[in-house]
Chain A
Amino acid sequence: MSKKTPPRKKKTESSPRRKRSGLWRLLFRAAALCLVLLAGWMVYLDAVVTSRFEGRRFEVPSRVYARPLELYDGAGISAAALVRELELAGYRSGDGRRPGTWQRNGDRFVISTRGFSFPDGKEPRRRLSLAVRGDRVDSFSVMEGDSSPIVRLEPAQIGGIYPSHREDRILVKLDEVPDSMIAGLMAVEDRQFYEHFGIAPLSIARAMVANVKAGRIVQGGSTLTQQLVKNFFLTREQTLLRKGNEALMSVLLELHYDKDDILETYLNEVYLGQAGTRSIHGVGLASQFFFGESLKDIDVHQIALLIGMVKGPSYYNPRRHPERARARRNLVLDEMAEAGVISGQEAREASARPLGLSAKPSYTDNRYPAYIDLVRRHLARDYREEDLQSEGLRIFTTLNPEVQQAAEKAATDTLPRLASGDVAEALEAAVVVTAKDTGEVLALVGGKDPRFAGFNRAVDARRPIGSLVKPFIYLTALSQPERYTLISPVQDKAFTLEFDDGRRWQPQNYDGKERGLVPLHEALSRSYNLPAVRVGLDVGIPEVQETLRAFGVTTPISDYPSMLLGSISLSPVDVAQLYQGLATSGFNTPLRTIREVTDAANEPLSRYSLKVDQVADPAAVHLVQYVMQETMQEGTGRSAYYRLPDSLTLAGKTGTTDDGRDSWFAGFSGDLLAVAWVGRDDNGPTALTGASGALPVWSATMAQIPQHGFSPVMPDGVQYHWVNPGEQALTGENCDNARLIPFIAGSEPEQHTGCNGSLGRQIRGWFEGLFQ
Chain B
Amino acid sequence: MNKQVIVRSACLALFVGLVGGCATGPGGGSIYVPVGGDDRRSAPEPPRTNIPDEQDEQVWRKSEQPTVTEPDSPSTRAPSYSESGDQLPAAALTLVRDADQRLRQGDSAGAIARLERAQRIAPRSSEVYFKLAEAYVAGDNLGAAEQFTLKGLSLAGNDERMQRSGWLLLADIRRARGNVAGADQAEARASAL
Contacts and interface: CB of A to CB of B under 8 A. Distances in A.
B40 to A, nearest CB: 6
Interface string A630-657: 1001000000010001111100000000
B80 A710 contact: yes
Contacts of A711: 24, 28-31, 62-63, 80-82
A769 B74 CA distance: 12
Given A120-B110, A740-B26, A646 B77 contact: yes
Contacts of B120: 70, 435, 438, 440
Contacts of A715: 154
Given A72-B91, A107-B43, A713-B82, A703 B69 contact: no
B13 to A, nearest CB: 11
B160 to A, nearest CB: 12
Contacts of B70: 647
Residue in B65, B114, B124, B144 with the greatest tally of chain A CB atoms within 10 Å: B124
B89 A73 contact: yes
A150 interface: yes
A161 B108 CA distance: 31
A710 B154 CA distance: 15
B81 A609 contact: no
Interface string B31-64: 1111111011001010000000000000000110
A645 B147 contact: no
Interface string B70-88: 1011110111111111000
A649 B30 contact: yes
A463 interface: no
B155 A713 contact: yes
B137 interface: no
Contacts of A633: 77-79
A649 B123 contact: no
A471 to B, nearest CB: 14
A638 to B, nearest CB: 9
Contacts of B65: 74, 708
A610 interface: yes
A80 B37 contact: yes
A170 interface: no
Given A70-B121, A771-B15, A707 B151 contact: no
Contacts of B119: 437-438, 610
A85 B97 CA distance: 28
A607 B83 contact: no
A585 B163 CA distance: 17
Of A135, A436, A614, A705, the most chain B CB neighbours within 10 A belong to A135
Contact of A712 (B82, B121, B153): B82
Given A106-B43, A633-B79, A714 B32 contact: no
A714 B81 contact: yes
B191 to A, nearest CB: 15
Given A711-B28, A711-B31, A769 B8 contact: yes
Given A106-B43, A740-B78, A73 B32 contact: no
A626 B90 contact: no
A150 B88 CA distance: 13
B6 interface: no
B95 interface: yes
A75 B120 CA distance: 11
A679 to B, nearest CB: 28
A74 B40 CA distance: 15
A611 B110 CA distance: 16
A647 B31 contact: yes
B144 A611 contact: yes
B116 interface: yes
Contacts of A107: 39, 43
Interface string A600-626: 000000010111111000100010011
B148 A612 contact: yes
B43 to A, nearest CB: 6
Contact of B43 (A80, A133, A584, A614): A133
A587 B29 CA distance: 20
Given A72-B90, A647-B74, A742 B34 contact: no
Nearest to B153: A716
A714 B157 contact: yes
B34 A135 contact: yes
A706 interface: yes
Q: How large is the interface on A (under 10, 10 to 19, 20 to 34, 35 or more residues)?
A: 35 or more
B142 interface: no
Size bin of chain B's contact surface: 35 or more
Nearest to B126: A713
B154 A586 contact: yes
B30 to A, nearest CB: 4
A678 B112 CA distance: 39
A148 B94 contact: yes
B81 A742 contact: yes
B66 A74 contact: yes
Given A78-B35, A720-B81, A709 B30 contact: yes
A740 B80 CA distance: 10
A78 B79 contact: no
Contacts of A585: 154
A72 B147 contact: no
A558 interface: no
Given A107-B39, A708-B32, A149 B94 contact: yes
A648 B19 CA distance: 20
B103 interface: no
B112 A720 contact: no
Contact of A436 (B27, B92, B123): B123
Contacts of B132: 610
Contact of A709 (B33, B83, B89, B94): B33
Interface string A426-446: 000000000111101000000
B113 interface: yes
A770 interface: yes
Contact of A713 (B8, B81, B92, B150): B81
Contacts of B138: none
A136 B33 contact: no
B32 A70 contact: no
B173 interface: no
Contacts of B19: 771
A72 B43 contact: no
Given A74-B91, A609-B116, A708-B30, A135 B35 contact: yes
Q: Which of B23, B31, B156 has the most CB of A within 10 A?
A: B31
Contacts of A710: 30, 80
Contact of A136 (B69, B92, B124): B69
Interface in B106-162: 109-110, 112-114, 116-117, 119-121, 123-124, 129, 132, 144, 147-148, 150-151, 153-158
Contacts of A138: 45
A148 B91 CA distance: 9
Contact of B75 (A76, A613, A714, A772): A772
A132 interface: yes
26 contacts: A73-B90, A74-B91, A107-B39, A132-B39, A134-B34, A136-B32, A136-B34, A149-B90, A587-B151, A612-B150, A614-B154, A618-B154, A626-B79, A646-B77, A647-B24, A648-B72, A708-B32, A709-B31, A711-B62, A711-B80, A712-B80, A713-B83, A713-B85, A713-B156, A740-B78, A771-B15
Interface of B: 8, 11-12, 15, 19, 22-37, 39-40, 43, 45, 62-63, 65-66, 69-70, 72-75, 77-85, 89-92, 94-95, 109-110, 112-114, 116-117, 119-121, 123-124, 129, 132, 144, 147-148, 150-151, 153-158, 163
Given A438-B116, A770-B12, 16 more contacts: A70-B91, A70-B121, A73-B91, A120-B110, A134-B40, A135-B37, A435-B123, A610-B132, A614-B147, A646-B72, A646-B74, A649-B80, A708-B32, A709-B31, A710-B80, A772-B23
A-B residue pairs, 3 tightest by C-beta: A72-B91, A135-B34, A437-B123
